[in-house]
Structure 1
Amino acid sequence: MIEKRHTVRKYLDKPLDMDLIGLLNDCIEQINKLYDLTFKLVTNNSDGLSSLARLMSNNSVQNYIILAGKDSSDLDEKIGYCGADLILYAQGLGLNTWWCGGMFNGKNALKHLDDKTVRVNGVIAIGYGKTQGVPHKSKRPDQISHYQGKAPDWFKSGIKALLLAPSALNRQPYIVDGVGNKVSFKVKNGAFSQVDLGIGKYFFELGADKSNFEWEDTL
């Protein structure tokens, strides 16, 4: 599923199947309960996207997921981690997604939420893509990672998966170090860096299998 997922910015004029809406809402409800977040699927609307995002999509986006939660020191990392889970779940349902990065309208998105005190920090466009997208230009494993000694297969698999992850501004700002079964993970400072941290951790865990390693404190 990781290999099949690519960013898609243009969508068919086709409403989401009601069964898929139900599955997405169930998944979002579980995420919200488990991580104390306020994600929400908005259908037949694109007001949470910025004017630039709508222009880039030729006004073809009809649905999006609001990424929001109560403000806290780890909110952005949770948004990234759980948003990553959602885009892969959507891919498995035959849908396509676009993590809009900085191109969202938080004020408009907030109108769709009951709790107006939460912070919105992103939206994910979702629908039936006109194409399945194409792989993005990727860095090499040695540009983002280092393992002390001979890298085990699980570490290599984690890095491979990480390089297939979206990043909020498409910069792959990751720095991953491993020694034994300990892995430290950090991102270069910048806009949405903590969102990228969450996205990256999710993809690395998926590739490496969490049973093979332990996270060290982020440097």
Structure 2
Amino acid sequence: MTTTPFDARVAALDADALAELMRSRHSVRAFTDRPIEGAVREALEAQMAAENERAGLSMQLCLDAPGAFDGTLAHYGSFRNVRNHLALVGPAGPGLDEAVGYAGEKVVLLARALGVDSCWVALTYDRRRSPARVGAGERYALAVALGYGEKPGSAHPVKPVERLCRVSGEAPAWFTAGVEAARLAPTALNQQRFRFELLEDGRTVRARALPALSCGRVDLGIARLHFELGANAVSRDWAFER
């Protein structure tokens, strides 16, 4: 299996550094004119291509393309000078939202490791003005604004661990680490409408989305990646329910 830029970054981090990477990613809505180029651009494109191949998606990195964030919707969302975005596109179907959440967050976390800021965007952009191509049978699920922020973002509220999981008895260290990592996952309107349940065998995890105002399945995909990263930093002797 080919090692992706994201895999290489994660492999180089210990558990504390990995948690700090997830903790340091905040939503940023105002950007400078600095372009995404050189080795940073190449790494993001390589990761995106690897995720497209792995999950059968059509994600596209749209650089120097301000049109999608240059209208009334973007101004309503307080976006300013968004010149780059990741278009999350893939086969229309019930699994698309969760798939782009998981895959897109890999690109987002890699971007954070490379010094690039981001913001997940569901509604306040104009996908018709995005240069992303949407083929027959595909859907443009949502976008991620990318760039170098005018200033750092701020931390979002998080729910207590006990509201995000279910476990009988004492939770193993890897499960607790996974839930703690999932707490740091960005979600629409900071809803955190997901739950992780440790099944009776003590090593299988059930992840589910709860009813949400929007983007519940996307949020679950993002949270699943965070859980996986946190748990794997402690132990790999576990698996998600199939």
TM-score (norm 1): 0.90
Match of 1:60 among 62, 76, 81: 81
Q: Which residue of 2 aligns with 1:171?
A: 191
1:114/1:192 CA distance change after superposition, 3 Å: closer
1:13/1:167 CA distance change after superposition, 3 Å: same
Establish whether residue 43 from structure 1 lines up as the match of residue 63 from structure 2.
yes
Shift of 1:71: 1.2
1:97-176 matches, within 5 Å, as 97-109=118-130, 111-113=131-133, 115=135, 117-176=137-196
User: Are the aligned partners of 2:134 and 2:140 in contact in 1 as well (CA < 8 Å)?
Assistant: no
Q: Which residue of 1 aligns with 2:215?
A: 192
Shift of 1:100: 1.0
Shift of 1:65: 0.6
Count of aligned pairs: 216
Q: For residues 134 and 79 of structure 2, what CA distance do their matches in structure 1 show?
A: 30
Give 3-state SS (helix, strand or coil) of 1:169's partner.
helix
Q: For residues 5 and 77 of structure 1, what CA distance do their matches in structure 2 show?
A: 20
Q: For residues 74 and 189 of structure 1, what CA distance do their matches in structure 2 show?
A: 16
Q: For residues 197 and 180 of structure 2, what CA distance do their matches in structure 1 show?
A: 14
Q: Which residue of 1 aligns with 2:205?
A: 183
Q: For residues 174 and 68 of structure 1, what CA distance do their matches in structure 2 show?
A: 23
Q: Which residue of 2 aligns with 1:203?
A: 226
Q: For residues 129 and 190 of structure 2, what CA distance do their matches in structure 1 show?
A: 24
Q: For residues 45 and 134 of structure 2, what CA distance do their matches in structure 1 show?
A: 16
Give 3-state SS (helix, strand or coil) of 1:212's partner.
coil
Question: 1:154-202: CA deviations, max 9, x gaps?
Answer: 1111111001000133211112211311211111123221111111111
1:3/1:156 CA distance change after superposition, 3 Å: same
Q: Which moved more, 1:62-71 or 1:201-210?
A: 201-210
1:54/1:205 CA distance change after superposition, 3 Å: same
Q: Which residue of 1 aligns with 2:25?
A: 5
Alignment RMSD (CA, Å) = 1.9
Q: Which moved more, 1:4-13 or 1:99-108?
A: 99-108
Give 3-state SS (helix, strand or coil) of 2:236's partner.
helix
Shift of 1:55: 4.5
Q: Which residue of 1 aligns with 2:14?
A: none
Question: 1:122-158: CA deviations, max 9, x gaps?
Answer: 1000000122211101111011112111011111111
Shift of 1:208: 0.7
Q: Which moved more, 1:4-13 or 1:80-89?
A: 4-13
Residue 187 of structure 1 aligns to which amino acid in structure 2? A
User: Are the aligned partners of 2:73 and 2:126 in contact in 1 as well (CA < 8 Å)?
Assistant: no
Residue 12 of structure 1 aligns to which amino acid in structure 2? T
Q: Which moved more, 1:142-151 or 1:114-123?
A: 114-123
Unaligned stretches of 5+ residues in structure 1:
none
TM-score (norm 2): 0.82
Percent identity (aligned): 29
Q: For residues 81 and 118 of structure 1, what CA distance do their matches in structure 2 show?
A: 18
Q: Which moved more, 1:90-99 or 1:5-14?
A: 5-14
Unaligned stretches of 5+ residues in structure 2:
1-20
User: Are the aligned partners of 1:159 and 1:207 in contact in 2 as well (CA < 8 Å)?
Assistant: yes
Shift of 1:116: 5.2
